[in-house]
Each structure stands twice: as structure tokens, then as C-alpha cells.
Amino acid sequence: MKKLLLLSVLFWSMTSFIQQEKPKKIIFFGDSITQAGVQPKGYISQLQEMIDKKGDKAKYELIGAGIGGNKVYDLYLRLEDDVLSKKPDIVVIYVGVNDVWHKATSGTGTDPDKFIRFYQALINKIQASGAKLILCTPATIGEKTDFSNQQDGDMNQYSNFIRNLATKNNIPLCDLRKEFLGHNLNNNPENKDKGILTTDRVHLNELGNQFVADKLFPLITK
């Protein structure tokens, strides 16, 4: 009887230890910005480097789930296969640029009411799975600081949608829209439309990727 009790205690201890040592799985869910994030010097790769330097490599597993051109409803359609089936602990949603940008470039995009409904549906399904969330506002379509970028109005509106959803659902927010504007106000005196944190007004250069990694780091390691 004593031997059986001892074995049970040892088994429980080993199981508890294994569970404690299991790395926290974080999935970054988004569009081409996130797809590029897993490349060398991409924001996900830079986050991994920051975690490694802190000595926490074994504590986190970072997974990129970005596809170029995706809008919020694309994320909803592939949520089960690309995110929920992997049983993440945290999901970082970084989407919205194409929902705005494609209105001008291809006459598509996502209407405001649909954007909010699909985004809330994403939140509902992810929270129901037991995973935690971090929401990101879309950073920029053009880096001019005088509010003359063509999509500034829509970008501000859709960023407000995400801010409101974060507040409504009590979810941490990485407000990249606000952070990028603040950085550009201090570092873009010539009012350039690209080349500060982006390569082409939208996609991140090396500094832009590091900037995003710096803003996300305290949220994912909290």
C-alpha cells in the first residue's frame, strides 16, 4: 500500500513538473506583415531573439500564422486549421491594413460593420478555446505625419474599432497605430511617406520590425 502511494506521489510530481515546463505557445495571426515576421529580422524572429537573450527560450514557443492579402474574414475562415487546432496559450491578432488598403487598390476591403462583426467572432471563438488574446491596431498605410496619407481616415476609424473591442472584451491592446504616429512625429521631419519604419508605406523595414517587437515583448512575456 505504501509503495503504491509512493508511486502515485512520484507520478503526480513528474506530471506536474512536465506541465510546468511546457512552453507557452503564442500564435501571431495576421496578414503579409506577420507572414514576413518569421523571416530573419522579422518582428517574430526578433521577439524570439529577445526572449532567448533573457534566458527564457524554453518558456515560449512562437508561431507565425500570417498570409499575404488577408483581411479579418480570411482570418475567421482559417481560424480552426491555423490557430485553434494548435491549441495556443496566447493569440496575437494583427490585422486591418488590407481591410482598409484594398478599398483603394482593388475596390474590395471590408465594410465597417462586417469588420467589427468578424473581429468579434474571432474573439469569441478564441476565448471559448481557453486561449488569451492580444489585439494590435494596424500601424500605417503611409508614414506622412501631416495626416495627408490617403487612408488616414479609415485607418484611424478601424483602429478605433479594435480599441473599442479590446476595451469591451477586456483584452490587452498593442496600439501600433498610435505608437507609429508618435515615432514618426519625432523621426520624420521631412514628412516622407515611407522609409522610416516601412519599406513601401505598409510593410515593415528592419527598424519597423524591431519597433513592433519592442512593443509586443512586454505583453507576451507579462
19-38 pLDDT, tens digit per residue, is 457 999 999 999 999 999 99
Helix (H, G, I), strand (E, B) or coil at 145: coil
* Whether 119 contacts 161, CB under 8 Å: yes
* Whether 122 contacts 71, CB under 8 Å: no
152-168 and 176-187 helices, crossing angle to 10°: 140
Note the pLDDT tens digit of each residue in 117-153: 999 999 999 999 999 999 999 999 999 999 999 999 9
Note the pLDDT tens digit of each residue in 190-210: 999 999 999 999 999 999 999
Note the pLDDT tens digit of each residue in 63-90: 999 999 999 999 999 999 999 999 999 9
pLDDT-derived band at 106, boundaries 50, 70, 90: confident
Helix (H, G, I), strand (E, B) or coil at 133: strand
Q: Strand pairing partners for 93?
A: 29, 135
Note the pLDDT tens digit of each residue in 4-19: 444 454 455 445 444 4
CATH for 22-220 (3.40.50.1110, 3.40.50.920, 3.30.1360.170, 3.40.50.1000): 3.40.50.1110
| pTM, entire model | 0.90
Q: Which of 41, 34, 104 is nearest to 63 (CA)?
A: 34
Q: Strand pairing partners for 173?
A: 135
Round to whole Å and give the CA distance between 123 and 98: 19
What is the DSSP-derived secondary structure letter of residue 36?
Answer: G
Residues 6+ away with beta carbon under 8 Å from 106: none
